[in-house]
Amino acid sequence: MDLSFLEKDTLTAAKALLGKKITTVTDGIVTSGYITEVEAYLGLEDKAAHAYQGRRTKKNEMMYRSYGTVYVYTMHGHHCMNFITKDECSPEGVLIRGLEPVEGIEVMQARRGRLDHLADGPGKLTQSMGIRRDIYNGTRLNEGPLTLSEGKVPGSIKASKRIGIDNKEEAVDYLYRFTVEGNPHVSKDRVEKAEFNGWQQ
DNA sequence: GCTTAGATACGCT
DNA sequence: GCGTATCTAAGCT
């Protein structure tokens, strides 16, 4: 699919990613899901971002690549995945935080060691889809093991505060987290489940 | 079902 | 050493 929507504005790109389908092939096994939850991280001026004030380290180097790059990092023994937006001068990206599983559900269950809550959190979805830093970090969408394609369209999009970024002063209040309203495959929130999981018909 | 505490390990300094 | 854009299980209701 055409990825140029990732080039312009990160907040718009974040919302546009909701409903898109992610497909991974790890160890020859296919898994896929629709994106239900994302967060935007706006580089230089965002105190919660890894690249705040142009901070550049080995870890966040991939944030300084152009749109369509995959950035994976580890924390607390888990992996988190971002899709980079914009260009080399704008270290911005979108953290993928939730997926509604579609294909390879049995594999996802095996990788997670449980039957549900397979991808309703950033560490959970990387685990169930086999996304590891050593394989995926620095790859590009649709040119490597990860494919982005059209999927569903959200009925309505809900904006909220980002998760897990206490101690980041005013940045904690930015409404840079976006979820598909009524979809249960999201972290934290208590969701009143909607018809069709909140997707347009 | 909800809230909380503690485990966790990796990359970077 | 230390900080971390997390997860799980326990304990309660």
pLDDT tens digits along A114-123: 999 999 999 9
pTM, entire model: 0.96
Residue pLDDT, tens place only, A144-190: 999 999 999 999 999 999 999 988 889 999 999 999 999 999 999 88
Domain range list for chain A: 4-185
Could you check: is the Cβ of residue A56 within 7 Å of any atom of nucleic acid strand C?
Answer: no
Could you check: is the Cβ of residue A75 within 7 Å of any atom of nucleic acid strand C?
Answer: yes
Question: Quick one: pLDDT at residue A95?
Answer: 98
Separation in Å: B4 C1' and A188 CA: 14
Percentage of chain A exceeding pLDDT 90:
95
- Alpha-carbon dihedral angle through residues A71, A138, A118, A157, given to the nearest 10 degrees: 50
Q: CATH code for A4-185? A: 3.10.300.10
The nucleotide minimizing the C1' distance to residue A56's CA is B12
Q: What is d(CA A99, CA A22) in angstroms, rounded to the nearest whole number?
A: 9
Q: Which residues of chain A have pLDDT under 50?
A: none
